[in-house]
Amino acid sequence: MSTLSALDRYWSSMLYLFSHHNKLSRYMNSDYIDIPAGTVNIPKLKQVAKPWSNSEKFMLNLALHLFNERNKVNLSDMDHLDANNSKLAFNAMQIRFQRG
């Protein structure tokens, strides 16, 4: 993937969360996400997230799951989200699972 216009719904849903979530947006750079190379440094993201709140960790895990289903997420952890983060999560899921 060489350009943003080439992004599919997997990339788009993950990048939506990274661009709209205050904490995740700090990590939307080439140290963690390399769009031209088509890579996400998941171990590095998980490492920096260790001290984060449950809500912040859930948002990261959801973003990574939407990007690649091998990254598991427990949807019951949405109970930790406030109204704004819930809206972001549902919007990202809609991007990822939209049909047509």
- Is residue 66 in a domain? yes
Domain count, the chain: 1
Instruction: Tokens for 61, please give them.
Output: 């895990």
Instruction: Tokens for 66, please give them.
Output: 């939407």
Report residue 9: phi and psi, to 5°.
Answer: -70, -25
| Mean pLDDT, residues 72-91 | 97
Instruction: Tokens for 95, please give them.
Output: 């991007």
The Cα angle at residue 76 between residues 59 and 65, in degrees rounded to 5: 40
* C-beta separation of 7 from 1 below 8 A: yes
- Is residue 20 in a domain? yes
Host domain of residue 24? 4-95
Give the model confidence (pLDDT) of 15-65 as tens digits: 999 999 999 999 999 999 999 999 999 999 999 999 999 999 999 999 999
* C-beta separation of 54 from 61 below 8 A: no
> Structure pTM?
0.90
- Is residue 49 in a domain? yes
- Is residue 100 in a domain? no
